[in-house]
Amino acid sequence: MRVAVSDGHPCEHVGAGGGGRARGAAFGLGLAAVGRPGYINLGRAEDLPGDRSVEAMRSRAHSLLDAAYAAGIRYFDAARSYGLAEEFLGGWLRSHPDVDDVGVGSKWGYTYTADWRVDAPVHEVKDHSVAVFTRQIAETRSLRGDHMVRVGFALETDDVLANARVKLEAKGLDFIVVNDALEPGAGFAVDTNRVTLVARDGSSEEMPLMAKSELADVILDRIEALFRER
């Protein structure tokens, strides 16, 4: 299994062995609703076992992963805040060593705090600090290994490249994707973006304004190229 990590609004992409990846997947399976006993999805109780123990939820998660993979789904979504979703997914992947064509998304910055209680007053806490990122990336490594390419995303309003390089260095990223929040046609509420890719060696490449779907392919190409180099 290959892992590519992103951070900024922290998230992760895993491209499985053989160079395969889940580019352009029409459907994926999110594990938030089966990674912890209490979640916000409507109608969730109708699909989950009455027993919300760790083992019962692990079994349900593995059954869903089996069914999804058999149906052709090759993208799975997890996060540190999804309770034990990463642990469940990691166990499923280890029990299926022949699976080498899946993509996995994961996020950091929110910490699960409910201690496996459905009635907990607070279920997750937001903290996008470097300290939390460092702790959570270590937790992910322990569950899924350290074969990672670390990619960051940053949205800046001034000193764009300088701030991006500071974040790249602080978080040990392989490259960071940065854009100017004030630039027309980029950022939120539009379907296009113009970014600069900043690499660990200090080099940078300005990309032209393009559809966000096209940009996603550019980023995935860079991740795959880094995997090939390793």
- Asked if pLDDT for residue 21 goes beyond 60, the answer is no
Residue 34 contacts residue 85 (beta carbons within 8 Å): yes
- Partnered with residue 180 across adjacent β-strands are 156
Residue 212 contacts residue 191 (beta carbons within 8 Å): yes
38-63 pLDDT, tens per residue?
887 777 778 888 899 999 999 999 99
Q: Please give the pLDDT value at position 145.
A: 65
170-193 pLDDT, tens per residue?
888 899 999 999 988 887 889 999
pTM assigned to the model: 0.67
Domain made up of 152-230: CATH architecture: 3-Layer(aba) Sandwich (3.40)
Rounded mean pLDDT of 129-153? 83
List the one residue out of 158, 216, 201 whose CA is nearest residue 183: 158
Q: Where in the chain is the domain with CATH 3.40.50.10300?
A: 152-230
Residue count (the chain): 230
- Asked if pLDDT for residue 89 goes beyond 80, the answer is yes
